[in-house]
Structure 1
Amino acid sequence: MKLLASALLASSLLLTACERNVKPGQIGGVAPDFTVTDSDHSAKLSNFRGKVVVLNFWASWCGPCVAEMPSLQALQEQMPNIQVLAVSTDGDGDAYKRFLDKHRILFLTVRDAQQKSNALYGSYRFPETYIIDRKGVIRRKMIGPQEWTNPEMIDYLSKL
């Protein structure tokens, strides 16, 4: 019985990983460019060439996204030479703005209610984050909330 339960658990974990596209074919390729404009900001990904970009897709209604935001804020403060770009998929602009105000998010965020930018990356479950090098090449995809200021991550980003 325990063996059967273990096998079912392993199968479900493998299927979940497949569904989240853990090893996207995009890694090593040029990051798809996009421009997102909301009522407050506009961001064109290719304008950040020459900088390492931490591209985060998120939503204010997503618990893991909310938990990750302070870490992204701390990363941007600790490493001002990189660009954190958080693209919200919120449909409700007021909820998005309330979230930013309440949590004092100061790094660059922009709202893409039509979800066109995340669709280019195949990201539909949040948070998902792409690490893009100075040349615009995707180096890593991170699934789920991360602790962005841990020493390993700072070292990795510093070396890009």
Structure 2
Amino acid sequence: MKKMNFLLILFISFFSCNTKSPTQFSVAALNDIFITQEGDSITFEDILENHQGKTLLIDVWASWCRDCIEGMPKIKDLQKEYNDVSYIFLSLDKTQKAWKKGIKKHQVEGAHYFMQSGWEGAFGKFLDLDWIPRYMIVDAKGSIKLFEAVKADHIRIKENL
């Protein structure tokens, strides 16, 4: 009987987990500070405002990340196919020098920002970031349509672009 109760509780717990993805960014994530390629500080909210009215593909990456680099050709294909989308690249490189070198080396086209707060900053915590690359889609009204994809060819990316 105890075993049956345990299995029932385990079953209910497993299937009642909240897996709903957020549709809006938290205040803390919006206030997190990033660095532009010119070396200026900018909040994530300001980054979004700079691209207001456009669909966004956000790519959290790093130049040292093999999976990120392997996904770049697929992102470049998306850029050709969906040229009306704004592509925002948020780097988790260890240094700004490595970040800028990676952009140049891999010829990454788009808007680039350095995540100075890193994995454990407000933005990383909002994403519950545990792996990169990480792709997100934000619609023209600012709603998160795709919260988490780890492959550049994830079917939901094209569905939401």
TM-score above 0.5: yes
| Residue of structure 1 in register with 2:10 after alignment | none
Q: Tell me if 1:100 matches 2:103.
A: yes
- C-alpha contact (below 8 Å) 1:67/1:145 kept by paired residues: no
Unaligned runs of 5+ in 2: 1-18
1:70 to 54, 62, 73: 73
| Residue of structure 2 in register with 1:133 after alignment | 139
> Rg: which structure is higher?
2
Report percent identity of matched pairs: 20
1-side partners of 2:92 and 2:20: how far apart? 20
Unaligned runs of 5+ in 1: 1-22
| Residue of structure 1 in register with 2:6 after alignment | none
2-side partners of 1:78 and 1:40: how far apart? 29
| Residue of structure 2 in register with 1:121 after alignment | 127
Alignment-mate amino acid for residue 40 of structure 1: E
2-side partners of 1:146 and 1:96: how far apart? 20
Per the alignment, do residues 52 and 136 of structure 1 end up closer, same or farther by CA in structure 2, a change over 3 Å counting? same
1-side partners of 2:58 and 2:124: how far apart? 10
1:31 to 17, 25, 34: 25
Q: Tell me if 1:40 matches 2:43.
A: no
Report how many residues are paired.
Answer: 132
2-side partners of 1:124 and 1:88: how far apart? 14
- C-alpha contact (below 8 Å) 2:55/2:139 kept by paired residues: yes
TM-score normalised by L of structure 2: 0.68
Q: Tell me if 1:54 matches 2:57.
A: yes
2-side partners of 1:108 and 1:74: how far apart? 17
2:86 to 76, 83, 87: 83
Displacement after TM superposition at 1:153 (Å): 4.6
Per the alignment, do residues 85 and 97 of structure 1 end up closer, same or farther by CA in structure 2, a change over 3 Å counting? same
1-side partners of 2:85 and 2:101: how far apart? 26
Higher deviation after alignment, 47-56 or 32-41 = 32-41
2-side partners of 1:75 and 1:40: how far apart? 26
TM-score normalised by L of structure 1: 0.68
Displacement after TM superposition at 1:65 (Å): 0.6
Displacement after TM superposition at 1:95 (Å): 1.7
2-side partners of 1:122 and 1:39: how far apart? 25
Displacement after TM superposition at 1:106 (Å): 1.7
